[in-house]
Amino acid sequence: MRPYSKEIAVGALPVLIVFLIFAGVPALPLIMGVCLMAGLLLLARARGGLAIGAAAKKAPTRAPQYLTFGDIGGQEQAKRELMEALEFLVKKDALYKLGIRPLKGILLAGPPGTGKTLLAKAAAQHTNSVFVAASGSEFVEMYVGVGAGRVRDLFQEARKLAAKEKKDSAIVFIDEIDGIGGKRDGGQQREYDQTLNQLLTEMDGIQGDENPRILLIAATNRKDSLDPALLRPGRFDRHIQVDLPDKTGREHILNLHARNKPMAEDVSLAKVADETFGFSGAQLESVMNEAAIYAMREESDTITSAHLAQAIDKVMMGERMDRETTREERERVAIHELGHAIVAESVRPGSVAQVSLTPRGQALGYVRHHPSQDRYLYTKTVLEEQIMIALGGAVAEELNYGGRSTGSRGDFDQATHIVRSMIESGLSSLGIVHPQAITTEQWAKENASILDELTEKTRELLRGHLETFQRLLSILIQEETLSGDDLRTQLQQTAA
Protein backbone atom coordinates (compact mmCIF):
# COMPACT_ATOMS: atom_id res chain seq x y z
CA MET A 1 0.00 0.00 0.00
CA ARG A 2 1.30 3.44 -0.94
CA PRO A 3 2.29 5.96 1.77
CA TYR A 4 -0.61 7.94 3.22
CA SER A 5 -3.19 5.89 1.26
CA LYS A 6 -5.15 5.16 4.45
CA GLU A 7 -5.19 8.84 5.38
CA ILE A 8 -6.38 9.82 1.89
CA ALA A 9 -9.18 7.24 2.02
CA VAL A 10 -10.31 8.41 5.47
CA GLY A 11 -10.35 12.04 4.30
CA ALA A 12 -12.15 11.32 1.03
CA LEU A 13 -14.93 9.23 2.61
CA PRO A 14 -16.70 12.14 4.43
CA VAL A 15 -16.45 14.28 1.28
CA LEU A 16 -18.09 11.49 -0.75
CA ILE A 17 -20.91 11.12 1.81
CA VAL A 18 -21.63 14.90 1.76
CA PHE A 19 -21.64 14.90 -2.06
CA LEU A 20 -24.15 12.02 -2.18
CA ILE A 21 -26.43 13.79 0.34
CA PHE A 22 -26.47 16.94 -1.82
CA ALA A 23 -27.17 14.72 -4.83
CA GLY A 24 -30.40 13.58 -3.14
CA VAL A 25 -29.34 10.25 -1.68
CA PRO A 26 -31.03 9.60 1.74
CA ALA A 27 -28.48 10.30 4.51
CA LEU A 28 -29.51 7.83 7.24
CA PRO A 29 -29.41 4.61 5.14
CA LEU A 30 -26.12 5.74 3.64
CA ILE A 31 -24.45 6.33 7.00
CA MET A 32 -25.82 3.05 8.41
CA GLY A 33 -24.51 1.15 5.39
CA VAL A 34 -21.03 2.65 5.76
CA CYS A 35 -20.94 1.81 9.49
CA LEU A 36 -22.09 -1.75 8.79
CA MET A 37 -19.38 -2.28 6.18
CA ALA A 38 -16.73 -0.87 8.54
CA GLY A 39 -17.93 -3.16 11.34
CA LEU A 40 -17.78 -6.22 9.09
CA LEU A 41 -14.23 -5.37 8.02
CA LEU A 42 -13.09 -4.93 11.62
CA LEU A 43 -14.75 -8.21 12.67
CA ALA A 44 -13.10 -10.08 9.80
CA ARG A 45 -9.70 -8.66 10.75
CA ALA A 46 -10.25 -9.57 14.42
CA ARG A 47 -11.29 -13.12 13.57
CA GLY A 48 -8.25 -13.46 11.38
CA GLY A 49 -6.01 -12.30 14.21
CA LEU A 50 -7.65 -14.74 16.64
CA ALA A 51 -7.23 -17.55 14.16
CA ILE A 52 -3.57 -16.76 13.74
CA GLY A 53 -3.11 -16.62 17.52
CA ALA A 54 -4.95 -19.91 18.03
CA ALA A 55 -2.90 -21.58 15.31
CA ALA A 56 0.27 -20.38 16.98
CA LYS A 57 -0.91 -21.78 20.34
CA LYS A 58 -1.83 -25.12 18.82
CA ALA A 59 1.51 -25.56 17.11
CA PRO A 60 2.85 -28.87 18.47
CA THR A 61 6.14 -29.13 20.26
CA ARG A 62 7.96 -32.23 19.10
CA ALA A 63 10.29 -34.15 21.35
CA PRO A 64 13.98 -33.98 20.40
CA GLN A 65 15.01 -37.23 18.79
CA TYR A 66 18.14 -37.49 20.92
CA LEU A 67 16.43 -37.15 24.33
CA THR A 68 16.16 -40.49 26.10
CA PHE A 69 15.71 -41.60 29.70
CA GLY A 70 19.47 -42.12 29.85
CA ASP A 71 19.97 -38.39 29.32
CA ILE A 72 17.98 -37.55 32.47
CA GLY A 73 19.85 -37.85 35.75
CA GLY A 74 18.79 -38.01 39.36
CA GLN A 75 15.33 -39.48 38.85
CA GLU A 76 15.88 -43.23 38.75
CA GLN A 77 12.72 -44.08 40.69
CA ALA A 78 10.54 -41.74 38.61
CA LYS A 79 12.04 -43.06 35.36
CA ARG A 80 11.46 -46.63 36.43
CA GLU A 81 7.82 -45.97 37.32
CA LEU A 82 7.21 -44.05 34.10
CA MET A 83 8.80 -46.72 31.90
CA GLU A 84 6.63 -49.37 33.56
CA ALA A 85 3.53 -47.24 32.94
CA LEU A 86 4.47 -46.84 29.28
CA GLU A 87 4.60 -50.59 28.64
CA PHE A 88 1.04 -50.55 27.32
CA LEU A 89 2.23 -48.43 24.37
CA VAL A 90 5.23 -50.67 23.72
CA LYS A 91 3.81 -54.15 24.36
CA LYS A 92 0.36 -53.95 22.81
CA ASP A 93 -0.12 -57.68 22.30
CA ALA A 94 0.27 -58.39 26.02
CA LEU A 95 -2.57 -55.95 26.77
CA TYR A 96 -5.18 -57.94 24.87
CA LYS A 97 -3.84 -61.25 26.16
CA LEU A 98 -4.19 -60.23 29.83
CA GLY A 99 -7.22 -57.96 29.40
CA ILE A 100 -5.41 -54.85 30.59
CA ARG A 101 -7.12 -51.50 30.16
CA PRO A 102 -4.66 -49.01 28.67
CA LEU A 103 -3.75 -46.04 30.80
CA LYS A 104 -5.31 -42.72 29.87
CA GLY A 105 -3.25 -40.30 31.91
CA ILE A 106 -0.02 -40.02 33.90
CA LEU A 107 0.49 -37.17 36.36
CA LEU A 108 4.04 -36.03 37.15
CA ALA A 109 4.11 -34.09 40.43
CA GLY A 110 7.07 -32.45 42.10
CA PRO A 111 8.99 -29.21 42.75
CA PRO A 112 9.99 -26.92 39.86
CA GLY A 113 13.13 -27.81 37.93
CA THR A 114 13.14 -31.53 38.71
CA GLY A 115 12.77 -32.67 35.08
CA LYS A 116 9.05 -33.34 34.61
CA THR A 117 8.99 -31.91 31.07
CA LEU A 118 12.14 -33.84 30.16
CA LEU A 119 10.54 -37.07 31.37
CA ALA A 120 7.50 -36.44 29.16
CA LYS A 121 9.69 -35.82 26.10
CA ALA A 122 11.75 -38.92 26.83
CA ALA A 123 8.51 -40.90 27.14
CA ALA A 124 7.58 -39.90 23.59
CA GLN A 125 10.97 -41.04 22.31
CA HIS A 126 10.80 -44.28 24.31
CA THR A 127 7.40 -45.20 22.84
CA ASN A 128 8.04 -43.77 19.34
CA SER A 129 5.05 -41.47 19.76
CA VAL A 130 4.10 -38.07 18.44
CA PHE A 131 4.63 -35.39 21.09
CA VAL A 132 2.26 -32.42 21.36
CA ALA A 133 2.75 -29.99 24.26
CA ALA A 134 0.85 -27.08 25.75
CA SER A 135 0.80 -25.09 28.99
CA GLY A 136 -2.20 -24.81 31.26
CA SER A 137 -2.17 -21.02 30.92
CA GLU A 138 -2.84 -21.29 27.17
CA PHE A 139 -6.39 -22.51 27.82
CA VAL A 140 -7.38 -19.73 30.23
CA GLU A 141 -9.47 -17.04 28.55
CA MET A 142 -12.10 -14.54 29.67
CA TYR A 143 -14.50 -15.62 26.89
CA VAL A 144 -16.67 -18.65 27.58
CA GLY A 145 -15.93 -21.61 25.32
CA VAL A 146 -12.53 -20.52 24.01
CA GLY A 147 -10.52 -22.67 26.45
CA ALA A 148 -12.73 -25.71 25.85
CA GLY A 149 -12.24 -25.30 22.11
CA ARG A 150 -8.48 -25.21 22.52
CA VAL A 151 -8.58 -28.44 24.54
CA ARG A 152 -10.48 -30.14 21.69
CA ASP A 153 -8.05 -28.72 19.14
CA LEU A 154 -5.06 -30.03 21.11
CA PHE A 155 -6.28 -33.64 21.06
CA GLN A 156 -7.35 -33.35 17.41
CA GLU A 157 -3.91 -32.01 16.50
CA ALA A 158 -2.28 -34.98 18.22
CA ARG A 159 -4.42 -37.46 16.24
CA LYS A 160 -3.81 -35.66 12.93
CA LEU A 161 -0.07 -35.41 13.50
CA ALA A 162 0.17 -39.12 14.42
CA ALA A 163 -1.72 -40.06 11.26
CA LYS A 164 0.47 -37.78 9.15
CA GLU A 165 3.68 -39.29 10.55
CA LYS A 166 2.18 -42.80 10.44
CA LYS A 167 2.68 -43.49 14.13
CA ASP A 168 0.46 -45.66 16.31
CA SER A 169 0.46 -43.43 19.38
CA ALA A 170 0.59 -39.81 20.47
CA ILE A 171 1.51 -38.23 23.79
CA VAL A 172 -0.27 -35.02 24.77
CA PHE A 173 1.69 -33.13 27.42
CA ILE A 174 0.11 -30.33 29.49
CA ASP A 175 2.55 -28.46 31.70
CA GLU A 176 1.30 -26.62 34.81
CA ILE A 177 -2.06 -28.37 34.56
CA ASP A 178 -3.18 -26.70 37.79
CA GLY A 179 -3.86 -23.68 35.56
CA ILE A 180 -7.01 -25.41 34.26
CA GLY A 181 -7.40 -28.39 36.59
CA GLY A 182 -7.81 -26.66 39.96
CA LYS A 183 -10.59 -27.55 42.36
CA ARG A 184 -14.01 -26.23 41.41
CA ASP A 185 -15.61 -24.16 44.17
CA GLY A 186 -19.11 -23.84 42.76
CA GLY A 187 -18.62 -20.19 41.80
CA GLN A 188 -19.44 -18.40 38.57
CA GLN A 189 -16.20 -19.25 36.75
CA ARG A 190 -18.07 -20.62 33.72
CA GLU A 191 -15.13 -20.42 31.32
CA TYR A 192 -12.80 -22.12 33.81
CA ASP A 193 -15.30 -24.90 34.54
CA GLN A 194 -16.06 -25.48 30.86
CA THR A 195 -12.36 -25.85 30.07
CA LEU A 196 -11.89 -28.42 32.85
CA ASN A 197 -15.08 -30.25 31.86
CA GLN A 198 -13.86 -30.46 28.27
CA LEU A 199 -10.55 -31.92 29.44
CA LEU A 200 -12.40 -34.54 31.50
CA THR A 201 -14.58 -35.35 28.49
CA GLU A 202 -11.56 -35.76 26.22
CA MET A 203 -9.93 -38.13 28.72
CA ASP A 204 -13.13 -40.16 29.04
CA GLY A 205 -13.26 -40.36 25.24
CA ILE A 206 -9.84 -42.00 24.97
CA GLN A 207 -10.44 -45.61 23.89
CA GLY A 208 -8.04 -48.50 24.29
CA ASP A 209 -8.57 -49.79 20.75
CA GLU A 210 -8.38 -46.47 18.92
CA ASN A 211 -5.68 -45.70 16.42
CA PRO A 212 -3.65 -43.68 17.12
CA ARG A 213 -3.66 -44.37 20.84
CA ILE A 214 -3.60 -41.22 22.97
CA LEU A 215 -1.83 -40.81 26.32
CA LEU A 216 -2.10 -37.61 28.36
CA ILE A 217 0.89 -36.71 30.53
CA ALA A 218 0.54 -33.70 32.80
CA ALA A 219 2.93 -31.94 35.18
CA THR A 220 2.29 -29.86 38.28
CA ASN A 221 4.02 -28.69 41.44
CA ARG A 222 0.66 -28.19 43.18
CA LYS A 223 -0.98 -31.59 43.15
CA ASP A 224 -3.05 -30.78 46.24
CA SER A 225 -4.86 -28.02 44.31
CA LEU A 226 -6.14 -30.29 41.51
CA ASP A 227 -9.81 -31.25 41.20
CA PRO A 228 -10.63 -34.76 42.54
CA ALA A 229 -12.49 -35.59 39.32
CA LEU A 230 -9.22 -35.19 37.44
CA LEU A 231 -7.20 -37.37 39.81
CA ARG A 232 -9.47 -40.40 39.98
CA PRO A 233 -8.55 -43.74 38.32
CA GLY A 234 -9.75 -43.90 34.73
CA ARG A 235 -8.35 -40.45 34.07
CA PHE A 236 -4.96 -39.97 35.67
CA ASP A 237 -4.29 -43.62 36.43
CA ARG A 238 -0.72 -43.14 37.61
CA HIS A 239 0.67 -40.44 39.88
CA ILE A 240 4.46 -40.30 39.76
CA GLN A 241 6.36 -38.18 42.26
CA VAL A 242 9.38 -36.38 40.79
CA ASP A 243 11.34 -35.19 43.83
CA LEU A 244 14.57 -33.26 44.28
CA PRO A 245 17.57 -35.52 43.58
CA ASP A 246 19.56 -37.10 46.40
CA LYS A 247 23.36 -37.00 46.57
CA THR A 248 23.81 -39.86 44.08
CA GLY A 249 21.30 -38.26 41.73
CA ARG A 250 22.99 -34.86 41.96
CA GLU A 251 26.35 -36.37 41.07
CA HIS A 252 24.75 -38.16 38.09
CA ILE A 253 23.22 -34.89 36.86
CA LEU A 254 26.51 -33.04 37.25
CA ASN A 255 28.33 -35.72 35.27
CA LEU A 256 25.75 -35.46 32.47
CA HIS A 257 26.23 -31.71 32.19
CA ALA A 258 30.02 -32.02 32.43
CA ARG A 259 30.28 -34.25 29.35
CA ASN A 260 30.87 -31.35 26.95
CA LYS A 261 32.92 -29.22 29.35
CA PRO A 262 36.70 -29.37 29.97
CA MET A 263 37.11 -30.07 33.69
CA ALA A 264 40.36 -29.53 35.60
CA GLU A 265 42.01 -32.50 37.28
CA ASP A 266 41.33 -31.11 40.77
CA VAL A 267 37.56 -31.05 40.24
CA SER A 268 35.52 -33.51 42.30
CA LEU A 269 31.89 -33.60 41.20
CA ALA A 270 31.14 -35.81 44.22
CA LYS A 271 32.20 -32.91 46.46
CA VAL A 272 30.06 -30.51 44.42
CA ALA A 273 27.13 -32.90 44.91
CA ASP A 274 27.78 -32.76 48.68
CA GLU A 275 27.64 -28.97 48.69
CA THR A 276 24.46 -28.67 46.63
CA PHE A 277 21.94 -30.30 48.96
CA GLY A 278 18.41 -29.26 48.02
CA PHE A 279 19.34 -28.23 44.46
CA SER A 280 17.04 -29.23 41.62
CA GLY A 281 18.25 -30.58 38.28
CA ALA A 282 17.74 -27.16 36.70
CA GLN A 283 19.86 -25.51 39.40
CA LEU A 284 22.64 -28.08 38.95
CA GLU A 285 22.65 -27.43 35.20
CA SER A 286 22.90 -23.71 36.00
CA VAL A 287 25.85 -24.38 38.32
CA MET A 288 27.80 -26.10 35.54
CA ASN A 289 26.88 -23.40 33.05
CA GLU A 290 27.85 -20.55 35.40
CA ALA A 291 31.14 -22.29 36.21
CA ALA A 292 31.92 -22.40 32.48
CA ILE A 293 31.09 -18.67 32.23
CA TYR A 294 33.49 -17.89 35.10
CA ALA A 295 36.20 -19.91 33.32
CA MET A 296 35.58 -17.97 30.10
CA ARG A 297 35.84 -14.63 31.93
CA GLU A 298 39.22 -15.64 33.32
CA GLU A 299 40.30 -17.01 29.91
CA SER A 300 40.89 -20.41 31.49
CA ASP A 301 41.07 -23.53 29.32
CA THR A 302 39.43 -25.68 32.01
CA ILE A 303 36.78 -25.36 34.69
CA THR A 304 38.36 -25.48 38.15
CA SER A 305 37.02 -26.12 41.64
CA ALA A 306 37.15 -22.35 42.31
CA HIS A 307 34.86 -21.72 39.34
CA LEU A 308 32.40 -24.32 40.62
CA ALA A 309 32.45 -22.82 44.13
CA GLN A 310 31.68 -19.39 42.68
CA ALA A 311 28.88 -20.88 40.59
CA ILE A 312 27.30 -22.59 43.61
CA ASP A 313 27.33 -19.30 45.52
CA LYS A 314 25.76 -17.45 42.60
CA VAL A 315 22.95 -19.99 42.09
CA MET A 316 22.29 -20.20 45.83
CA MET A 317 22.63 -16.54 46.84
CA GLY A 318 22.52 -14.47 43.64
CA GLU A 319 25.00 -12.35 41.72
CA ARG A 320 27.90 -10.69 43.52
CA MET A 321 27.04 -7.08 44.42
CA ASP A 322 29.39 -4.09 44.50
CA ARG A 323 28.07 -2.60 47.72
CA GLU A 324 30.19 -0.17 49.69
CA THR A 325 29.95 -0.87 53.43
CA THR A 326 31.48 1.03 56.34
CA ARG A 327 34.18 -0.53 58.49
CA GLU A 328 31.72 -0.98 61.35
CA GLU A 329 29.16 -2.70 59.10
CA ARG A 330 31.84 -4.96 57.65
CA GLU A 331 32.98 -5.98 61.13
CA ARG A 332 29.41 -6.57 62.31
CA VAL A 333 28.67 -8.76 59.28
CA ALA A 334 31.86 -10.76 59.93
CA ILE A 335 30.87 -11.29 63.59
CA HIS A 336 27.35 -12.28 62.57
CA GLU A 337 28.48 -14.86 60.01
CA LEU A 338 31.16 -16.28 62.30
CA GLY A 339 28.46 -16.78 64.93
CA HIS A 340 26.50 -18.91 62.48
CA ALA A 341 29.61 -20.83 61.39
CA ILE A 342 31.00 -21.62 64.86
CA VAL A 343 27.63 -22.81 66.17
CA ALA A 344 27.09 -24.93 63.03
CA GLU A 345 30.52 -26.51 63.28
CA SER A 346 30.06 -27.17 67.01
CA VAL A 347 26.70 -28.94 66.77
CA ARG A 348 27.33 -30.54 63.34
CA PRO A 349 31.06 -31.05 62.78
CA GLY A 350 32.16 -30.83 59.14
CA SER A 351 29.02 -29.04 57.94
CA VAL A 352 30.51 -25.62 57.05
CA ALA A 353 31.85 -25.23 53.52
CA GLN A 354 32.70 -21.52 53.48
CA VAL A 355 32.25 -18.23 55.31
CA SER A 356 32.22 -15.14 53.09
CA LEU A 357 31.86 -11.37 53.42
CA THR A 358 31.06 -11.01 49.72
CA PRO A 359 27.64 -9.34 49.25
CA ARG A 360 25.32 -11.48 47.12
CA GLY A 361 21.68 -10.78 46.44
CA GLN A 362 20.21 -9.21 49.59
CA ALA A 363 22.87 -10.67 51.89
CA LEU A 364 25.95 -8.72 52.98
CA GLY A 365 27.65 -12.00 53.90
CA TYR A 366 26.81 -15.67 54.14
CA VAL A 367 27.79 -19.11 55.39
CA ARG A 368 27.54 -21.95 52.91
CA HIS A 369 26.70 -25.28 54.56
CA HIS A 370 26.87 -28.80 53.22
CA PRO A 371 25.31 -31.63 55.25
CA SER A 372 27.20 -34.86 55.77
CA GLN A 373 24.21 -36.74 54.39
CA ASP A 374 20.80 -36.01 52.90
CA ARG A 375 18.13 -35.89 55.58
CA TYR A 376 14.39 -36.35 55.12
CA LEU A 377 13.22 -36.95 58.71
CA TYR A 378 14.01 -34.54 61.52
CA THR A 379 14.13 -35.31 65.24
CA LYS A 380 13.66 -32.78 68.00
CA THR A 381 17.43 -32.60 68.51
CA VAL A 382 18.09 -31.89 64.84
CA LEU A 383 15.48 -29.13 64.75
CA GLU A 384 16.89 -27.55 67.91
CA GLU A 385 20.34 -27.57 66.31
CA GLN A 386 18.95 -25.79 63.26
CA ILE A 387 17.40 -23.13 65.49
CA MET A 388 20.70 -22.63 67.35
CA ILE A 389 22.53 -22.20 64.04
CA ALA A 390 19.96 -19.61 62.93
CA LEU A 391 20.30 -17.73 66.25
CA GLY A 392 24.11 -17.86 66.23
CA GLY A 393 24.53 -14.62 64.28
CA ALA A 394 22.31 -12.50 66.53
CA VAL A 395 23.84 -13.96 69.71
CA ALA A 396 27.36 -13.23 68.41
CA GLU A 397 26.36 -9.60 67.82
CA GLU A 398 24.98 -9.38 71.37
CA LEU A 399 28.21 -10.71 72.89
CA ASN A 400 30.35 -8.22 70.96
CA TYR A 401 28.12 -5.13 70.73
CA GLY A 402 25.53 -5.65 73.45
CA GLY A 403 22.68 -5.61 70.92
CA ARG A 404 21.36 -6.93 67.61
CA SER A 405 20.87 -5.48 64.12
CA THR A 406 18.26 -5.79 61.38
CA GLY A 407 20.49 -8.36 59.69
CA SER A 408 19.00 -11.02 61.99
CA ARG A 409 15.46 -10.66 60.66
CA GLY A 410 15.72 -13.53 58.18
CA ASP A 411 17.35 -15.73 60.83
CA PHE A 412 14.46 -15.10 63.23
CA ASP A 413 11.93 -15.93 60.50
CA GLN A 414 13.71 -19.22 59.93
CA ALA A 415 13.86 -20.00 63.67
CA THR A 416 10.15 -19.29 64.25
CA HIS A 417 9.23 -21.40 61.20
CA ILE A 418 11.16 -24.34 62.69
CA VAL A 419 9.46 -23.80 66.06
CA ARG A 420 6.07 -23.99 64.29
CA SER A 421 7.12 -27.28 62.68
CA MET A 422 8.11 -28.65 66.10
CA ILE A 423 4.77 -27.68 67.66
CA GLU A 424 2.72 -29.07 64.76
CA SER A 425 4.76 -32.31 64.86
CA GLY A 426 4.12 -32.85 68.58
CA LEU A 427 7.75 -32.16 69.54
CA SER A 428 7.05 -29.38 72.05
CA SER A 429 5.82 -29.33 75.66
CA LEU A 430 2.26 -28.96 74.32
CA GLY A 431 2.39 -32.56 73.14
CA ILE A 432 0.30 -33.88 70.28
CA VAL A 433 -2.32 -31.23 69.58
CA HIS A 434 -4.14 -29.93 66.51
CA PRO A 435 -2.72 -26.52 65.48
CA GLN A 436 -6.19 -24.98 65.30
CA ALA A 437 -6.85 -25.99 68.91
CA ILE A 438 -3.96 -23.82 70.14
CA THR A 439 -4.79 -20.25 71.08
CA THR A 440 -2.64 -17.29 70.04
CA GLU A 441 -1.43 -16.89 73.61
CA GLN A 442 -0.34 -20.54 73.79
CA TRP A 443 1.51 -20.21 70.48
CA ALA A 444 3.34 -17.11 71.68
CA LYS A 445 4.20 -18.62 75.07
CA GLU A 446 5.54 -21.89 73.63
CA ASN A 447 7.44 -20.07 70.88
CA ALA A 448 9.10 -17.75 73.42
CA SER A 449 9.92 -20.66 75.74
CA ILE A 450 11.69 -22.67 73.05
CA LEU A 451 13.59 -19.71 71.59
CA ASP A 452 14.69 -18.37 75.00
CA GLU A 453 16.05 -21.77 76.02
CA LEU A 454 17.94 -22.27 72.77
CA THR A 455 19.23 -18.70 72.75
CA GLU A 456 20.82 -19.29 76.15
CA LYS A 457 22.40 -22.54 74.92
CA THR A 458 23.79 -20.71 71.90
CA ARG A 459 25.17 -17.94 74.12
CA GLU A 460 26.99 -20.42 76.37
CA LEU A 461 28.42 -22.24 73.34
CA LEU A 462 29.86 -19.03 71.82
CA ARG A 463 31.27 -17.88 75.16
CA GLY A 464 33.41 -21.00 75.17
CA HIS A 465 35.03 -19.92 71.87
CA LEU A 466 35.69 -16.21 72.49
CA GLU A 467 39.46 -16.48 71.98
CA THR A 468 39.09 -18.47 68.76
CA PHE A 469 36.32 -16.12 67.67
CA GLN A 470 38.63 -13.08 67.77
CA ARG A 471 41.38 -14.91 65.89
CA LEU A 472 38.97 -16.04 63.17
CA LEU A 473 37.47 -12.55 62.99
CA SER A 474 40.79 -10.94 62.07
CA ILE A 475 41.41 -13.60 59.39
CA LEU A 476 37.93 -13.22 57.88
CA ILE A 477 38.07 -9.41 57.74
CA GLN A 478 41.47 -9.52 56.08
CA GLU A 479 40.82 -12.36 53.60
CA GLU A 480 37.04 -11.80 53.04
CA THR A 481 36.52 -15.58 52.86
CA LEU A 482 37.23 -18.42 55.26
CA SER A 483 37.10 -22.04 54.17
CA GLY A 484 35.45 -24.70 56.25
CA ASP A 485 38.78 -26.51 56.62
CA ASP A 486 40.49 -23.40 58.06
CA LEU A 487 37.59 -22.89 60.45
CA ARG A 488 37.84 -26.47 61.69
CA THR A 489 41.62 -26.20 62.09
CA GLN A 490 41.30 -23.15 64.32
CA LEU A 491 38.57 -24.76 66.43
CA GLN A 492 40.61 -27.94 66.85
CA GLN A 493 43.65 -25.96 68.01
CA THR A 494 41.55 -24.31 70.70
CA ALA A 495 40.13 -27.67 71.80
CA ALA A 496 43.63 -29.12 72.05
* Residues with catalytic function: 337
Print the SS3 string covering the chain: CCCCHHHHHHHHHHHHHHHHHHCCCCHHHHHHHHHHHHHHHHHHHHHHHHHHHHHHHHCCCCCCCCCCHHHCCCCHHHHHHHHHHCHHHHCHHHHHHHCCCCCCEEEEECCCCCCHHHHHHHHHHHHCCEEEEEEHHHHCCCCCCHHHHHHHHHHHHHHHHHHHCCCCEEEEEEECCHHHHECCCCCCCHHHHHHHHHHHHHHHCCCCCCCCEEEEEEEECCHHHECHHHHCCCCEEEEEECCCCCHHHHHHHHHHHCCCCCECCCCCHHHHHHHCCCCCHHHHHHHHHHHHHHHHHCCCCCECHHHHHHHHHHHHHCCECCCCCCHHHHHHHHHHHHHHHHHHHHHCCCCEEEEECCCECCECCEEEECCCCCCCCCCHHHHHHHHHHHHHHHHHHHHHHCCCCHHHHHHHHHHHHHHHHHHHCCCCCCCCCCHHHCCHHHHHHHHHHHHHHHHHHHHHHHHCCHHHHHHHHHHHHHHCEEEHHHHHHHHHHHHC
Residue 168: phi and psi, rounded to 5, are -85, -10
Instruction: Determine contact, residues 59/161, Cβ cutoff 8 Å.
Output: no
